[in-house]
A and B are shown apart, each in its own frame.
Chain A
Amino acid sequence: MSMDWKACCREIRCDILRCIGHLGVGHIGGCLSVVELLAVLYFEEMNIDPADPKKPGRDRFVCSKGHAGPAVYATLSNRGYFDKAELLTLNQGGTHLPSHCDMNLTRGIDMTTGSLGQGFSCAVGVALGSKLERDGATIYTLIGDGESQEGQIWEAAMFAAAKKLSNLIAFTDYNKLQIDDTVAKVNDIAPLADKWRAFGWNVIEVADGNDAGQVSAAVKLAKSCRGGEKPTMVILNTVKGCGVKWIEELGSGNHNCNISAEQAEAAIREIRGED
């Protein structure tokens, strides 16, 4: 039985818009760009149990671009980690769902992230831990393209390759936009694949990171590299704000933007193809 990725991703996108729309502001662009990845990991590839979120030996996901928290929460709630109603508490005082991922607050979150660059190093530490425990887990981590400007990313990249952490599969959300402008204009990270290869990583490039079929195939290919000598970087060419035309058209303005309840409702209708 094959997964209906379109329906799965549609639900996650609508939940992202519902919770950020309820609040009126949030990191919409970089949440919508990573939906296909999260769907593939949580609904297909990861060895996890929503009933036992801290199960030893499980696969882990470290969302180093911690501001994509709402996308992860929408995915976790769709996967059964917690009730969907909780999504509407996003960023409200006392919530379990803060804008940036917090392992001590949210069921199913494996690492606290938000200060860019650090989560990736933490994921490397987790992968080292799993290797020492010989538990066979696969450690997944997601970094942003703007985040790739952080020096700590490259410190960790060097270390992971030197220690041959082939149980580590990383993804770059290469949507080409950051807060101030395009990544190319602010401080270009290209040629990105060459950089990762030069740092001793396998590199898989996905032409359309918002096509779940392509993402799924890339993750399977990455998993086949486990047990080898190198960690693997999957570069996902994505669209920031993917799925809602006016949000996509905001460009770098969609990193953290306002959205009214009416706009959110219209966006949900657009995603559902009801307009």
Chain B
Amino acid sequence: MEMRAVYAECLAELMTQDRHVVVLDADLAKASGTRKLYERFPDQMFDCGVAESNMASIAAGLSSYGFKPWIESFSPFATRRICDQIAISISYAKQNVKIVGTDPGISAELNGGTHMSMEDIGVVRSIPGVVIFEPVDETQLRAAMPVLNSYYGPVYMRLFRKVTPDVFGPDYRFDLFRADTLRTGTDLTICVSGMFTRDVLDVADELAAEGVNCEVINVHTIKPIDRETVIASARRTGAVLTVENHNVVGGLHSAVCEALALERIPVSALGVPDRFGEVGKIPYLRQALGLTKEDIRAAARKAAAAK
């Protein structure tokens, strides 16, 4: 199932339970998978047209009136385009707005460089008070949606909107502020967020056969990062690799480095090498930006050898 379909299903459930849950679009409801909800929830769905700044501040106004607004757009327009509205109307004013940015990083594919947010986490991470969450699969997204809705305060959710490979099983227990350790190992800690998580698990399995045991941590919440889990793992393994669909500046790598700044443990990075995106399908973009499974495997070997 596509992630956006799961997201829309969860929103529908939340809106059914609580008429104060409202959703605002900036002419991308179809892309976000929520267009069909307009007929079902005419008093809870509002399309603001192509005006993201207005959408964000209107959501803040609705929040001040006791509503629980969710706003949606492509990730560059849900973050860098409206960072002042997120900062002032939403977070500084302590408003309860959920911000959903779809098609993060290279998943913008054919929309190309203009629509490809390599910096969205960096932009939002520097604004005090905003939680940043990136789900990896359907199970985690389903578990997270009601938790995000009942958490009072701004959250930015970075949502890959197409089909993703399964990572979590039916027994999964979600904690917004606790990272998930997916594999335990002694030689290297790999911190991963978002769309590369399944590949990192595969790489960990392959390296285990070579005698390199990787601990894999899914850092679904990049801010506030689960320092305890990351530091404890890094101390055990003595080396860390971060893997992300984002610029290596400002995103998961930066967050992990900040957490480990006093630990004297090498932290290697695999992510977008501080450059803009370009048009292309995901396999091409992974090749062009050095983000293939082979790149992950090579980076993990090198990182494990770095200590």
Contact = CB atoms under 8 A, between A and B. Distances in A.
B59 interface: yes
A121 B65 contact: no
A111 B95 CA distance: 10
Given A110-B64, A115-B84, A129-B61, A122 B89 contact: yes
B298 interface: no
Interface core residue of B49, B58, B85, B88 (most chain A CB under 10 Å): B58
Given A114-B88, A115-B84, A156 B46 contact: no
Interface of A: 62, 102-104, 110-112, 114-115, 117-130, 132-133, 151-152, 155-156, 158-159, 163
A58 to B, nearest CB: 11
Contacts, number: 100
Nearest to B88: A115
18 contacts: A111-B61, A112-B93, A114-B88, A115-B87, A115-B89, A118-B57, A121-B85, A121-B89, A122-B58, A125-B64, A126-B64, A127-B61, A128-B62, A132-B22, A155-B48, A155-B51, A159-B48, A163-B46
Interface in B63-97: 63-67, 84-85, 87-89, 92-94
The secondary structure that dominates the A interface is helix
A61 B36 CA distance: 35
Interface core residue of A111, A127, A155 (most chain B CB under 10 Å): A155
B237 to A, nearest CB: 43
Contact of B58 (A104, A112, A159): A159
B66 A125 contact: no
Given A132-B43, A155-B54, A118 B84 contact: yes
Contacts of B65: 125-126, 129-130, 133
Given A112-B93, A129-B64, A152-B54, 6 more contacts: A112-B92, A118-B57, A118-B84, A121-B58, A128-B61, A159-B54
Contacts of B67: 129, 132
Given A110-B64, A115-B84, A125 B92 contact: no
A185 B139 CA distance: 58
B65 to A, nearest CB: 3
Contacts of B93: 102-104, 111-112, 122
A121 B63 CA distance: 13
Nearest to B92: A112
B245 interface: no
A156 B43 CA distance: 19
A114 B84 CA distance: 11
B255 interface: no
B60 interface: yes
Nearest to A153: B54
B242 interface: no
Interface core residue of A104, A122, A129 (most chain B CB under 10 Å): A122
B53 interface: yes
B254 to A, nearest CB: 26
Given A115-B84, A118-B85, A129-B66, A159 B51 contact: yes
Closest A-B pairs by Cβ, 9 of them: A125-B61, A129-B65, A121-B57, A125-B58, A112-B93, A155-B54, A155-B51, A122-B61, A126-B61
